[in-house]
Amino acid sequence: MQLREDIRNIAIIAHVDHGKTTLVDQMLKYSGTFRENEHVHERAMDSGDIERERGITILAKNTAIKYKDTAINILDTPGHADFGGEVERIMKMVDGVALVVDAYEGTMPQTRFVLKKALEQKLTPMVVLNKIDRPNARPTEVVDEVLDLFIELGADDEQLEFPVVYASALNGTSGYKANEQEETMDPVFQTILEHIPAPIDNREEPLQFQITLLDYNDYVGRIGIGRVVRGTMKVGQQVVILKKDGTQKSFRITKLFGFIGLKRIEIQEAVSGDVVAVAGLEDINVGETVCPQDHPESLPWLRIDEPTLQMTFLVNNSPFAGKEGKFVTARKIEERLLKQLETDVSLRVDPTDSPDAWIVSGRGELHLSILIENMRREGFELQLSKPQVIIKEIDGVKCEPVERVQVDVPEEYTGAIMESLGSRKGEMLDMANQGNGQVRLEFKVPSRGLLGYATEFMSQTRGYGILNHTFEGYEPVIKGQVGGRREGVLVALENGKTSTYGIMQLEDRGVIFVTPGTEVYAGMIVGEHNRDNDLTVNITKEKHLTNVRSATKDQTITIRKSRNMSLEEALQYLNEDEYCEVTPESIRLRKKILNKNEREKAAKRNK
């Protein structure tokens, strides 16, 4: 069996924020992939605006690095659970993985999730212990934690012999020992060359190429990215694509792209082991196999993670509709959602009875909120309903998604956390003292119990707690109310501008969401009531002027800071009878029924 020693295919996997993308940056830099005078952004692989702002990887990306005489194809994967489907598919394109672990935090829920996927695919692992320069780094304990995790996940003897490289991606240093760091990435590269297997060279056999990722380009249309599993692929070649339903479609390869650094370069041919992008077919999809016409043979189908959360997207019909956005019509919104389906395989868009509403299903709150955030930045206006978990029927039993939750908190808050997750039907799995006053708790919680929990968690732990959760599977539905918001809201009585006087009158009633001078409409939510019922308030009320001068007139009025919500917080905050109105400039919460009398009648009917 011949191997292609001139190439290595490796995926970088880790928990969110353990430094995957920063590590790839340093590898690009040290391999001499960029010219001396070339300007490169930090976290060069995170090309999207939202990725840069939030410091997370959303889409898996590939790059190729030339080190000595070897081309190393590196796939940077997302660390967040909502994009787990991407991670799983990437595993099909590589022969090994570099597991990046934070030298202080150790193994986290996502570390477990991504490693489990890699071990299932029988990939060869190596471990990079990152952030070794942190003052409280604990390399020895973390290596033991990683080994325990490998054993727990059923790694075989070969996989347990993983090499460890110690690094600080931020400083650009690495070494084979924690206390011996040099300004180079050579130890990482050397370990890849020595331990990650080279792909098999079977270029003489019939072609097999599987689409793993999708991209879209206005000039060439849909682009399928994947690995040539065997054979040779050339521009101009007539091939067939094997669809999921068993049908075949023939097409001609119009363009082939290889990767070097962050650039795509046109190439004329690719052979087994190469990671390439191919253009030429409009309805190419993830998991499909490209073969020669005379030898159609499909590769095993790729499993795509099913959506676990859905929400309704509606045309904006609030009194402020059309004031701030460019695209407000049902046609434009539908076009944009269908365009998203071109590249996002974990998304579903289903029509409803109304031409102005669609049910959009995704992998989780982050998955959907990033789509919404992108849409508002492009100039769209829309309304959103409360997110709902998707209930599945398995063997005649109704089942709901369940998550594994890991909480790191100072000791004094453990009681409050156990109580609050217990009330959300959480089941405690483990509790470990981390030393220095920190406790790590593990729970299994229904996904619907976690909707809207992040805000409550932050206030319970005064911002000192860290909450991580990852999708565990489906379990029978737990009866009764799980989670949800307990407080009522303050709802504006009429249209107008909020006044300082109006806000001051309401401060003892709850938390205000708006600042003085904000335009509001009747039925818009302007604050949170400190009781469990909704209250309609006059927040636009002005102070009556009299001709009597008051003794305290010259004292300065101060009002409390209003609560400003991000898009995710607003979506989590919603109740069944509310919408979130999203425009390029504003995020507003409102009642579905704006008129006070009609709203009260509807509430009575529901009771």
Annotated binding site: 17-22, 130-133
Q: Please provide the size of the chain in residues.
A: 607
How many CB atoms lie under 10 A from the CB of residue 262? 18
Sheet holding 180-182, edge to edge: 61-67, 70-76, 7-14, 96-102, 124-130, 164-168, 173-177, 180-182
Cα distances from 7 to residues 64, 66, 70, 197, 234, in angstroms, run 10, 9, 5, 9, 19
CB 318 within 8 A of CB 275: no
Closest CA to 255 of 286, 224, 275, 280: 280
Distance CA 190, CA 130 (A): 17
- Which contacts of 508-516 are long-range, i.e. CB under 8 A and separated by 24 or more positions? 509/535, 509/537, 511/562, 511/563, 512/539, 512/559, 512/560, 512/562, 512/563, 513/562, 513/563, 513/564, 513/565, 513/589, 514/539, 514/562, 515/562, 516/559
DSSP state of 92: G
DSSP state of 282: T
CB 429 within 8 A of CB 444: yes
Which segments are annotated as binding site for GTP? Answer: 17-22, 130-133
What is the radius of gyration, based on Cα positions, of the chain? 27
CB 95 within 8 A of CB 196: yes
Distance CA 423, CA 179 (A): 46
In DSSP notation, 178-214 reads: TTEEES-SHHHHHHHHHHSPPPB--TTSPPEEEEEEE
Distance CA 374, CA 569 (A): 17
CB 594 within 8 A of CB 577: no
Residue 273 three-state SS: coil
In DSSP notation, 541-599 reads: PPPPP-SSPPTTTTSPP--PPPPP--HHHHHHH--TTEEEEE-SS-EEEEESS-SHHHH
DSSP state of 93: G
Closest CA to 559 of 506, 509, 520, 519: 506
